Amino acid sequence: MPQIQTREDIRNFEKTPIEEQQLPGNTYAFLERGAAYGEDRKALSFFLQAKGDAFKNSETYTYGELLANIRQCANMFRDLGIEKDDVVSFVLPNLPETHFTIWGAECAGIVNPINPLLEPAVIKDILNAAGCKVLVTINAFPNTDLWEKIEQIRADIPTLKTVLRINLEDHLSGLTKLVIKGITLSKRSAKNVSGQQVLDFNKLRKKYPKDKFTFNREILPSDTASYFHTGGTTGVPKLARHTHANEVFDSWSALQMLGGENPELNFFCGLPLFHVNGVMVTGLGPWGQGAHVVLGTPSGYRGEGVIPNFWEIIEHYKVNFFSGVPTVYSTLLNYPLKGADVSSLDYALCGAAPMPVEIFRQFEKLTNVKILEGYGCTEGTCVSSANPPSGERRVGSIGFPIPYQEMEIMILDEEGKFDRIAEADEIGIVAIRGNNVFSGYKEEIHNKGIWIDMGDGKAPFLNTGDMGRQDADGYFWLTGRKKELIIRGGHNIDPKLIEDPLAEHPAVAMAAAVGRPDPRVGEVPVAYIKLLDGQSIAKEELLEFASQKIGERAAIPKHIHIVDELPTTAVGKIFKPDLVRREIKEVFEGELKKLPSIAHFTVSVDSHKIHGTMATIKAEAKDSTKAEALKNELRRILGNYSPKFELEVH
C-alpha cells in the first residue's frame, strides 16, 4: 500500500473490501505466507547472553527450520492429547522453543501464555482458569526459580496431564554446558503426581515428523487460537480469547500501518513472549511478511548486557525496527551511542503507557530515530492505532486507527449505554470495532459491560475503559483511564490485586490503590488506607503484610498513606481521580523543592477538558533575570513524567 500520511490515506486504502485482501485463515497459514519469500531465508536469530560481545553468538533458524520445529511441536502436542479445544499453557522466558510452542499449540489446540514473574498462586489460578492440559516450562537453571514455582502448584491443577521441561543449557556448548547441568542436576527431580508425567521437551519433540502434520485439522478463522491473561483479581483471572482471524488480521493490518510488507526488514524482540506485543508485533507480524526476528536473551530487555550493549546489537544485526515501553527508552538514554552505527533503524514503536515528552525529545535527538507512539490492548489482539511513519507524528498522540479497524470517542449515558459520538476534542470513552477485536473473555462473568451497541445493526464496539479525544485532523489522544489500571513499565496492574489483599488486614476498613508518577517506569502503585475506628498500625507493618499477600511483585505498593477519610462520590464509591491528583501534586512539589533557584512556588492539579488532568505550576525565581532558564529547567525535569503540565515562571 502507499505510505500512510493522513487519516484520508487509510480511508482510501479501506475502499478495497477487506475480503479482497485475501488474508490467510489461520496463523500457521500466515507463517507459510512469509515462508513463501524463501524457506532458506533467515527467520529467527537468538542469543542467550548479551554481556560483552556474547550477543554476536546466535543460533539462526531459516523459515524452513522455523516451520519444521512448529510442525514437530504440533504433532507432539496432538499426540499428548491436545485437540481443537484443549489448552497448552507455557511459563517460559524468551526462547526459540517459546515460539515453537506458541504456533505449534495453535495448530493443535489453544495456547495460553503466562508471565513467569507471577507468584505461584497466581500462576495456579491462571492454569486452572484455562483448563491447562499440557504445560511447557524450563528445568532448573542457575538464577531461576521457575521449576520450583511449578513444582509447588502442579498437583493443584486437576486438568494437567503432561509437563514438558526445556533445558536452557541446550543453548550452550562445551564445558559450560556440562558444568551448568552438573550444578542443577540435584534440583531437577520431579515429585510424583497422580495422572501426570514430566518429560523432556526437546527430546520428545525431535521424535516427531517435521515435514508434515500427523493429524488432520482444518483450522478455521473463527477457531480459538489463544487465551492471553490480562488481569483479574486473584482466583478469577481474566483470559482474553483470541481467534486465528483476530491474530492474523491484527498482525497484517499493523504491517500496513507501518508501511506494508517488506521481507528485508530485521526486527528486534526484547519484550516478553507472554505479552501480545512481543508475540504479534515482533513475532507473527514480521514472519507473515518474510522478515527476520532477533530474539535477545531469555529475559529480553532485562537480560544482563542487553541495554548497555543495545546500540552494538542494533549495528551487528542491522535492526530496522524495535518495540518498547517508555521505561526502555528512558533507560537507553543513559547509554550513549559511542560510535555505533544505528543508521539501519527506521523507527521504534512505543505503546503500553504514555511517553513523557522529554524522554521522546531526548531519544530522537540522541539517535535520530523516529518514535511511533501507538495504542493497543489485549482485547484488541494488540495494535489498534499508531502515528504514521511517513506523515506527521504528534507527540503524545496515539495516531490513527489501523486499517479496517474502527475507533471512536463515545459519550455514554449514566447506564453506560451509547449516547452519541463525541465532538472534536471532547473527552469520552475510546471504543474499537474490527476483526482484531476479541469475542470476549473466557469466563462470561468478565464480559459484563464491555460492549457498546450503537444500534446500527453491526457488531458492538469494545469499551476499552480508556478515556480519550480525537482532534480535528483525526489524531487520537488518551486522556485517562476509566478502568483505573496502574501501568508500571508497560505492565498493567489491576488495583484490586492490591486493594483486596490489604482489605483482609484486621485493622483496615477501606483500601484504594492508584498510580504515582515515576520518571523511570511511568507509574508505581501506591495505596491509601482508612483504618477501622480505634485501630492503629505502622505503615511499615502494612507494607510487609502487602508484600506477603499480593501475588504479583510489580503490584506491591511503593508507598502506603494512612488517611482519616477517602474521597467518595455521591453514592459512596471511592473517587480515585482525587487521589491521582494528590500523587501528581506531591511528586511535582518534590521536584520543585530540590531547586535552590526557586523563591517560592505553587502546584495545583485539576481536571482538564482536553487533557483530562492538568498540573499548573507557578514559580518565582530568586533572580528574576534567570526566570527563563528556570522555566527551561522545569520543563526538562517535569517532562520526564507523563502527566500534562503548564508553567508560569517569573
Mean pLDDT (the chain) is: 91
Please give the pLDDT value at position 160. Answer: 98
Average pLDDT over residues 158-182: 88
Domain 486-566 matches domain 578-649 at the CATH topology level: yes
- What tens digit of pLDDT does each residue of 3-55 get? 788 889 999 999 999 999 999 999 999 999 999 999 999 999 999 999 999 99
More confident residue, 496 or 579: 579
pLDDT in tens, 319-329: 999 998 877 88
**E-strand spans in 174-217?**
197-200
Lowest mean pLDDT among 61-75, 293-307, 576-590: 576-590
Buried b (16+ CB within 10 A) or exposed e, 253-278: bbbbbbbebeeebbbbbbbbbbbbbb
Q: What are the sequence ranges of the domains in the chain?
A: 7-386, 400-481, 486-566, 578-649
What average pLDDT does range 286-293 have in this prediction? 97
Q: What is the mean pLDDT of residues 612-629?
A: 90
pLDDT tens digits for range 341-360: 999 998 888 876 667 777 78
Q: Tell me which CATH homologous superfamily contains domain 7-386.
A: ANL, N-terminal domain (3.40.50.12780)
Count other C-beta atoms under 10 Å from residue 141's C-beta.
Answer: 21
Which residue type occupies 289?
Q
- 123 within 8 A of 91, measured Cβ to Cβ: yes
Q: What is the pLDDT of residue 308?
A: 95
- The pLDDT assigned to 370 comes to 85
Q: Considering only the top CATH level, what class is 400-481?
A: mainly beta
User: What is the CATH number assigned to the segment(s) 486-566?
Assistant: 3.30.300.30
Quickly tell me which residue has 533467515 as its cell: 42
**Does 433 have pLDDT greater than 80?**
yes
Q: How far is CA 32 from CA 71, 258, 554, in A?
A: 12, 21, 38
Rounded to two decimals, the pTM is: 0.83
pLDDT at residue 398 greater than cutoff 60:
yes
Give the CATH superfamily of 578-649. Answer: ANL, C-terminal domain (3.30.300.30)
